[in-house]
Structure 1
């Protein structure tokens, strides 16, 4: 155990060392957007006065699955197509006699029968129908219902009729029902917060991907678009919001109380997963010029003005996007709402975007520069969806990458427009490309898209919300825009949106619009094939290539890059793992160019260098989604250039050289010592002289002992890195800084620590301190009203070196009265990130796995807890435990929910780590001893 601990510490040191190296070259560590999705499945929620519908019982009846029955298939039959919904909802925000919060619904769905059928099959989940179902035709004639029943597995309500519905005829299904406003963060759900000592209840929604069916019976697939009339009945001291503006507000008496009835304008044609409605006591910060509002807790919005930054940037981003898309914002308003309980980072509901409040609110007195960056980028991401995703929508979830990858790319463009001094577009390399390559280099990765028929179950769909979808999607679209040119890309994109507005598409229809724009461009760049043929090599096969350039003869080769070259790839490739690779390059003699590698091997005279000191650098600014390797001579010359004058190499490529070389070494393509050599130039860099300590003193001097802030975004990030790394490696002055700042806060109850440095100061204070310090921070966590500050405090609570304290925090993670459900997974992962807490978190996960699967296992990012706890695994014992964990939960039918693929990836990465440590431990130890001039006794290799 001790040996595994010390080796893990060494591996962690290498990883952190080179993260700082990238930051020191001004490619900073980016904010990681959390997508934890909590789930509390509850089967109750039936109103006490529920009426049993004719021919059934009040509770859903599950029909025994039969493979030949249409209701046992996860995709709806295409007999019926919805046209319009009337949805009338009354959320009751007080507990009933059973202690439950419920809502009452009245719904009418208008649909057309396309193919004659004797069944009406519609999605419905956890809705209790309180009156007889009513089916009528367009002339209001009643269509007799023989019986109705439920298919629980597929979430269907099935009406069996006495006679067939006629093709091309219109019908109406009318229903009345109850549902529970549970705190499961799905469908129509309940959120709570405390303001001025009073607990306040919110009724809000999260429909993506498959949960509109928990709010009203519907044809819950993205291609089945319709219009919506929403009516919300609520107490007069609440406000109701939906996708459209209210058109009528009146009063009614219900249960001897006055209620308000808010009716909203009919929506545009849209998918069910974008429907949203909220009932709250929130307040707005508004801007009539751009028809935008930021909604949130009254204290945050009105008293502390935390919505002002988001409001200002919303106007700028909408301005940018309307120009970028050449298409006016499709709706009459844009409401954005900060929720205290929310599963994802944000959700692009059309006209009513919802956010975790940490992703929308900004308080200059409490929020860090990282918080500020997150707010502007998340807003840009969600507003990008208002056109790409909402106006034009994917036909089925297998193409989710197109929605999310595109928004993840455009968020940098929108944020760059809103904060034009930040150079934020450069962060795509670390936020997305480097991040996702770590996953996509595994044999257990997957292609961006797949066949529709291969994505069926809720687990299949939820599993797609991963880094491949978001970050690889963004990376390949960024690459496409780069080799086409941004202007040509925009032209094709604008044509695509205009052609398919209010409709659904498959991914290749974007290629078609881009190809048409390319064909019509007189001064177009050279392409070796059609855009579709080029991009399909990146979309239809997993992974990416390593391109090896030999400057001694000008030859090029490409090969599927795998972290473990001995692993067996899960997916076959239609292109035998070759890609159309766009290679940008520059030489020391200022020769620049672009070439294409279209086969496994190629030759290009531009890559043949004959001069004694000539060198070549490829993949300029990392616009291509691939890694680059060189012959030894070119490596030597590049590294010599970095040591002589590193500024000659573009700043992003300095980070690329380090990242590529260490991953090439992990894949046994180059030696580990060669990779280590790429870091020598850092001694010449502006922010790092030889080790972390000079970097710490640099910022100490330039910021007046950390009292002032650097001017630029990247310098502020580098300051944070300097303090964090200095404290992590025991620099006494850093530890003293932490102690003094924390104790001053503790003694005076006045927090003078700058928000940028709080995460680092808090964490190190807890690591250095004991239970007294931890209890103080726990008290602050429970009393702060700022969600971003709460996140910093909660993360720091996991930094303790005391096992009993960490175990306490792990237990708290499952108690929603102590840790919000949305934060369960990240709290466990925070403990796992602590070297002392890793084994504790792993034991906790194994002991509570069934609870986690039952409550959260369907969440979009459930796998984060597995990847978080296993990231340092590198021994045979670790591997055996993972395999035993897999076998036990498989044999006992507990399963892994949406973490199934992540578990396979954890096993694969552990195997690769074992091999790497065994092969490189001694070589790396010797290299560091030589480079540093002494043995670091703390590594204990």
Structure 2
């Protein structure tokens, strides 16, 4: 009986197989009416049927038996707290096939979840309203009563009654449309494949669609708000490539009838993998290739590929319950990186993936981290799963497993898994079991240690003169842990040199320590060879001393990245001093790789926050000595043969020299180039255009600020709009900060973007505290109007406010203000704030003394 079950779950006594949904949205009144008929199988006699419903009012409910006899149900009870609908049948219904009929109405909400409305203006300033959906994790129940759990898969037939002249799109192709007597159109869509409720989608409004592109028999379109068709070519190109790539990799044809990529003006997530009707933020789908930066192009390719990867892994085969969402998202992250790496080899996407891995390391280095998979009970628990551990750590450990097993063996295991479970639901272990079926590797044993345990190991490596290497593991954490004996199954790759020859060796470390015989003394040794392991490395001093002189010759860029990242982590943990790190960083003056420079500049910017006055001025001079020669080697002027990574690196170095190094000549050049860009967008290379705008904002006047607001509001592309919007948070003035913050609540900045802009404001070195206090003063309003999933992401910004009095103030605020949809993530933010505060207390004075002395 339901009362004995988890109150957020549905009993298995009634199982759906088909939905026929009819919805009629009123865009002007922000409401909708609807009806749904659900074919169900009653598996044992019941007197009550439980469904999910939230923020909808059910008017009538009937049950129809196999003979066609309908009976009105005696009682309809809505449990608002558990978002369930109880239908009392009035008598016992025996096993068998039945059909439920329900009618209802609801609101088109402004919270960017369920069935919601989105408002945008066209180029002429005319306002338009869209009705669209976002159902993951548990919000299909806000559009129609349903069995809103992933395991209750069914076929969906959708009919939409829409205003005349409005475009309508759903998961399946349009089957028929009829003009109604009142002037509205009834649009009937074909049946979907068998799928979960959270993958249902429909969008109504002033959209247009590109002509279908035939991708080996699959029609691919981009659906977009009117007037933006000129920005669709890149998405079509990436979409077609991804469809072909994944069809070949998975060895299974695309499982649906068509694929629409839909650009939505207001969207709380980046994108959503609805079967056949994938929805995106505009900035990730509508792109001017000639004006976008390399990171913008790569990010769009990543997200498009990520969602298309889900059509098989997540949609065709789906987790049984939300504890397994990590596998959907981690696998799509892994697959998208793979696809992007092939789509544009010049991006070196697996090297860039180091940045994603670092984001996961940061969270997983905390005491308050969580396992990748953990129990999920309520909708709020499910919301909390969408974080860097699910995506980036999950993707990283999959990459580690693939590199250990071999790419072909790993792919064969994935194909076996998908073929075995297509149209069904799985648990995490089903994937490892499928891999073990086709390989000899202990996939389950290895992965259980990474999926069900918190944290990750620090691998310590030492050697003796006989060529024996000792490898040890212990959990890494920014703060000391008492007697943590966690062990992982760690694939450790070693590469070493001896007399000019280079060799490699691989081991699986499953105890606290192992010895490996290299057959003689090595000149140098690299641990985590290839850079794919999800662990940090600590070299014995003698090994590090031997490695450093040959670093540029013998370490691949991804390995040098790891060396920098690991060293910075040891600074945060108190094992390396800030002074020593700065000296270490100076050793990279001849570095040429984009990602190594990216991690270096990030670490050095964090050190900058510890300094003021003369010490900071001296520090800026050190940075100029580091960044200036590197930029001189590249030159300010782009060349026709520049690779994408070179274009991006030039921009990074310009920004670092001008903003972090406060080089006055560079700042003046940035201001000239930005003025040139404002006059003629095509006259400045996009990567340079983006960074010179950032440089101007960092020291911008009120006049500059007014120009940035104007460019934000009248941007030529979604990327330019987002760029200038974000840079409003970088201005140093009190008044400019106040204006920006006000825009996050008065409607000038969309609610999908506002929380992220507030976070950026809190990161502002000069006015971050002002932003924090604005958030405190407006907390209740933000909680009311911002999307639920974005609140905890907004709070990421306060981690930069590490001065003792402000850190104490932040801790005190959250003693009485909770974030139920992300409470664990909030606690992680607070712990990271404490780590930053401890770094300041431990290192600021000694670093300043070393610089001034």
TM-score by length of 2: 0.92
Aligned to 1:544, which of 452, 456, 469? 456
What is aligned with 1:338? 263
Q: Distance in 1 between matches of 2:20 and 2:434?
A: 36
Q: Structure 2 matches for 1:444-843, cutoff 5 A?
A: 444-450=368-374, 454-519=375-440, 527=441, 530-552=442-464, 554-566=469-481, 576-589=485-498, 590-606=502-518, 610=521, 614-642=523-551, 646-670=552-576, 675-686=581-592, 691-692=623-624, 695-696=627-628, 699=631, 702=634, 705-706=636-637, 711-728=642-659, 729-744=661-676, 748=679, 752-816=683-747, 818-843=748-773
Contact conserved, 1:71 with 1:154, CA < 8 A, in 2? no
Choose between structure 1 and 2 for higher RCO, CA contacts under 8 A separated by at least 6 residues: 1
Residues 160-559 of structure 1: matches in 2 within 5 Å? Answer: 160-167=88-95, 169-195=96-122, 196-254=124-182, 258-290=183-215, 291-301=219-229, 305-430=230-355, 432-450=356-374, 454-519=375-440, 527=441, 530-552=442-464, 554-559=469-474
- The alpha-carbon distance between structure 1 residues 922 and 413, as it changes in their structure 2 partners (threshold 3 A), is same
The whole-number CA distance in structure 1 between the counterparts of 2:482 and 2:166 is 58
Q: C-alpha separation between the residues in 2 aligned to 1:288 and 1:538?
A: 41
Structure 2 SS opposite 1:429? helix
CA contact (8 A) 1:72 1:153 kept: no
How many Å apart are 1:364 and its aligned residue? 2.8
Residue from 855, 863, 872 that aligns with 2:792: 863
Partners of 1:487 and 1:657 lie apart in 2 by: 29
Contact persistence 1:105–1:178 (CA under 8 A): yes
**Given that residues 275 and 350 in structure 1 are in contact (C-alpha distance below 8 angstroms), is that contact kept between their aligned partners in structure 2?**
yes
Cα offsets for 1:47-87 (capped at 9, x unmatched):
xxxxxxxxxxxxxxxxxxxx994698001111111110000
Would the aligned equivalents of 1:118 and 1:161 in 2 still touch at CA under 8 Å? yes
**Residues 287 and 620 of structure 1: is their aligned pair in 2 closer, same or farther, counting only changes over 3 Å?**
farther
1:110–1:171: 8 Å Cα contact kept in structure 2? yes
Query: Aligned residue for 2:609?
Result: none
Cα distance, 1:660 vs structure 2: 0.8
Q: Is the 8 A contact 1:346 1:378 kept in 2?
A: yes
Number of residue pairs aligned between Structure 1 and Structure 2: 816
Are the counterparts in 1 of residues 275 and 311 from structure 2 also a CA contact under 8 Å?
A: yes
C-alpha change, 1:750 and 1:721, in structure 2 (3 Å) is closer
Gaps in structure 2 of 5+ consecutive residues: 601-621
Q: Distance in 2 between matches of 1:749 and 1:685?
A: 34
* Structure-2 residue corresponding to 1:51: none
2:800 and 2:836 in contact (8 A); partners too:
no
Could you tell me how far apart the structure 2 residues matched to 1:883 and 1:668 are? 22
Contact map agreement 1:695 1:722 (CA 8 A) in 2 = yes
User: Could you tell me whether the CA contact under 8 Å between 1:857 and 1:899 is conserved in 2?
Assistant: no
Do the aligned partners of residues 710 and 794 (structure 1) sit closer, same or farther apart at CA in structure 2, a change above 3 Å counting?
farther
1:84 aligns with 2:56: no
Structure-2 residue corresponding to 1:119 = 48
Residues 14-163 of structure 1: pairs in structure 2 closer than 5 A: 69=3, 73-94=7-28, 100-130=29-59, 132-163=60-91
TM-aligned CA distance change 1:568 to 1:831, over 3 Å: farther
Partners of 2:585 and 2:847 lie apart in 1 by 13
8 Å contact kept, 1:212–1:273: yes
Contact 2:130/2:205 (<8 A) preserved: yes
Show the 5 A alignment for 1:870-889: 870-873=799-802, 875-889=803-817
Q: 1:632 to 1:673 in 2, by over 3 A?
A: farther
Aligned counterparts of 1:260 and 1:246: Cα–Cα separation in 2: 12
CA distance in 1, matches of 2:713, 2:483: 48
Distance 1:679 1:101, change over 3 A: same
Is the partner of 2:117 in helix, strand or coil?
A: strand
Given candidates 838, 846, 852, the residue that maps to 1:915 is: 838
Q: How far apart are 1:792 and its partner, in Å?
A: 0.6
SS of 1:468's equivalent? helix
User: How far apart in 2 are the matches of 1:114 and 1:502?
Assistant: 20
Give the drift of 1:914: 3.3
TM-score (norm 1): 0.83
2:583 and 2:456 mapped to 1: Cα distance?
25
Pairwise CA distance, 1:247: 1.3
CA contact (8 A) 1:826 1:865 kept: yes
Q: How many Å apart are 1:782 and its aligned residue?
A: 1.7
Post-superposition Cα deviations, 1:330-380, rounded to whole Å, max 9, x if no partner, equal 112110011111111100000000000101111034322221111111111
Structure 1 residue 406, shift from structure 2 partner: 0.5
Distance 1:837 1:918 in 2: 21
Contact 1:123 1:219 (C-alpha < 8 Å) held by counterparts: yes
Paired residue secondary structure (2:749): coil
Say if 1:144 and 1:162, in contact at 8 Å, map to a contact too: no
**1:290-323 deviations in Å (ceiling 9; x for gaps):** 110011123221xxx2101110121111111011
Post-superposition offset of 1:387? 0.2
Distance 1:781 1:591 in 2: 54
My pick for the range that moved more, 344-353 or 649-658, is: 649-658
Q: What CA deviation, in whole Å up to 9, does each residue of 1:767-793 have, x standing for no partner?
A: 333222211221222222522111011
- Residue 913 (structure 1) shift: 2.7
Provide the rounded CA distance (Å) in 2 between the counterparts of 1:740 and 1:911: 41
Aligned to 2:267, what secondary structure does the other structure show? coil
Q: Secondary structure at the match of 1:112?
A: strand
Does the Cα contact within 8 Å between 1:394 and 1:505 map onto a contact in 2?
yes
Deviations for 1:249-302, whole angstroms, at most 9, x for unmatched residues?
221113xxx22221111111000000011112222223432110011123221x
- Contact conserved, 1:758 with 1:792, CA < 8 A, in 2? no
Q: Is the Cα–Cα contact under 8 Å of residues 354 and 561 in structure 2 kept in the other structure?
A: no
Q: Within 2, Cα distance between the matches of 1:819 and 1:924?
A: 40
- Contact kept, 8 Å, 2:346 with 2:645, in 1: the verdict is no
* Cα distance in 1, alignment partners of residues 771 and 20 from structure 2: 48
